[in-house]
Amino acid sequence: MARTQGSHSDITGPRIRDAALRLFAQHGYAAVSMRQIAKEVGVQAGALYNYTPDKQSLLHRLMEGHMRELLAAWQVQESSGEAGEDAMAQLERFVRFHISFHMQRPDAVFIAYMELRNLSEENFILIEALRSSYEDALEAVLKRGVDTGRFRIPDTKIATLAVIAMLNGVMTWYRSGGRLSLEEVESVYWDMVRKSVGV
Amino acid sequence: MARTQGSHSDITGPRIRDAALRLFAQHGYAAVSMRQIAKEVGVQAGALYNYTPDKQSLLHRLMEGHMRELLAAWQVQESSGEAGEDAMAQLERFVRFHISFHMQRPDAVFIAYMELRNLSEENFILIEALRSSYEDALEAVLKRGVDTGRFRIPDTKIATLAVIAMLNGVMTWYRSGGRLSLEEVESVYWDMVRKSVGV
DNA sequence: GTCTATATTGAGATAGAC
DNA sequence: GTCTATCTCAATATAGAC
């Protein structure tokens, strides 16, 4: 079946995105060439252009896909709570969801916040809007907790960014098979977040 | 005095580092060319090689200088406390120091944690050792607070990384002239950190 | 110490054969 | 849909004149 020319596969598209995701995360967008990506996939560089108009679109598509998955997954997670769930329970749900979701996609996460400056201006605006939506989701929880007296937070906007920054820190050091399971890590972070917004 | 050839200045070295710092922070190491740096300084690309053996050394030197300054500044700050200062006061000192120091060098900070993957292997090891020293400084404070019963922290290593990650988040959004002064921002973060490690 | 000029390499992207 | 071949441009780094 091995052909050295012609149509090899109908899943080349996904394989290109997988390779680009991994290489961009490891070396950075600017440091990775189309030839490297092609080699990883097992095609020639020219073939990539059947799937993407250019390198920039490849980056943008990866980031957009990641952000849309994130937002969709949170909406599912959020609506799976009980009707009367209070802000504290919602916050714990968010913290555990955020860590769990992101740890399953370390490469996409890394790209989504390291490669913002390599987006074209118009693509940057699009991605930033998606990011803002996600931050708004957390801020809504925090505001609700403040309103119901469960939380004491001097500035919900800053607290939102602080919590996300803290949680994202997990990605820089956690490796599976280490001292703690992912669930234990979630619990440690939840303990800190819970106290940091507490009365 | 304007000469179009020959020796222009004895401060070309610092100007090269300044330009590289700014350009690397803005566009990323891999996306910036030696020609761009030279243009910014006002010399030809070849002249840069009187000051650095190659581009990699330029990056490493910037990062190493930043990390050494950070460690030195913290040692000064740490030893300026009273003799009997307890862990809570030390932690507040650290939080305010960290934010204040880093906000004065946003470009260097950005580079120091975004460009790690563009260091050669041996340079990476050197920079990581300096980073570890800084983390150890914070962890020592946290451990002391746990020992004296001031803090309740399930895992001081994770807490160290979480606190630094949270504080570093400031750099991604704070712009002077905004809603809050830097000192107010410090206070907001200190409030969260204090509570997050509390009993 | 800086210039101009250049060696060498590799980048992104395209054209046309199969 | 993929290949080979190639266009065009720009990268790092060096050599030698001034």
pLDDT in tens, A34-82: 999 999 999 999 999 999 999 999 999 999 999 999 999 999 999 998 9
Give A162 to chain B, closest Cα distance, Å. 5
C-alpha–C-alpha distance, residues A1 and A8, integer Å:
9
Confidence at residue A189, expressed as pLDDT on a 0 to 100 scale: 98
Q: Is the CB of A33 under 7 A from strand C?
A: yes
pLDDT band at A3 (very low <50, low <70, confident <90, very high): very low
Q: Retrieve residue B3's tokens.
A: 């000469």
Radius of gyration of chain A from Cα atoms? Answer: 20
> Is residue A7 pLDDT above 70, yes or no?
no
Residue of B nearest to A186 (CA): B158
For A85, other C-beta atoms within 10 Å of its C-beta total 13
- In this complex, the residue with its CA at the shortest distance from the C1' of nucleotide C18 is A6
Residues 6+ apart with CB under 8 A from B53: none
Confidence at residue A199, expressed as pLDDT on a 0 to 100 scale: 85
> Is residue B108 pLDDT above 90, yes or no?
yes
Question: In this complex, is the C-beta atom of B28 within 8 Å of any C-beta atom belonging to chain A?
Answer: yes
Nearest to B28 among A30, A164, A197 (CB): A30
User: pLDDT above 90 covers what percent of chain B?
Assistant: 92
Residue B122 CB burial class (10 angstroms; 0-12, 13-18, ≥19): exposed
Distance A138 CA to D16 C1' (A): 63
Confidence at residue A6, expressed as pLDDT on a 0 to 100 scale: 61
Residues 6+ apart with CB under 8 A from A180: A188, B155, B158
C-alpha–C-alpha distance, residues A6 and A43, integer Å:
11
C-alpha–C-alpha distance, residues A27 and A114, integer Å:
11
Identify the CA nearest to A37 among candidates A49, A48, A50: A48
pLDDT in tens, B125-184: 999 999 999 999 999 999 999 999 999 999 999 999 999 999 999 999 999 899 999 999
Q: Is the CB of B53 under 7 A from strand D?
A: yes
Cβ separation of B28 and A28 shorter than 8 Å?
yes
Domains defined for chain A, CATH in brackets: 1-52 (1.10.10.60), 54-196 (1.10.357.10)
> Is residue B2 pLDDT above 60, yes or no?
no
Tell me what the mean pLDDT of segment B74-83 comes to: 94
Residues 6+ apart with CB under 8 A from A61: A17, A52
Confidence at residue B8, expressed as pLDDT on a 0 to 100 scale: 63
- SS3 string, B125-175, reads HHHHHHHHHHHHHHHHHHHHHHHCCCCCCCCHHHHHHHHHHHHHCHHHHCC
Residue of B nearest to A195 (CA): B196
By mean pLDDT, which of A5-19, A154-168, B124-138 is the weakest?
A5-19
Cβ separation of B169 and A166 shorter than 8 Å?
yes
Cβ separation of A31 and B30 shorter than 8 Å?
yes
Distance A46 CA to C7 C1' (A): 27
Q: Count interface pairs A-B at CB distance under 8 A.
A: 85
| Angle at which helices B87-103 and B106-114 cross, to 10° | 100
What are the φ/ψ torsions at residue A50 (nearest 5 degrees)? -80, -10
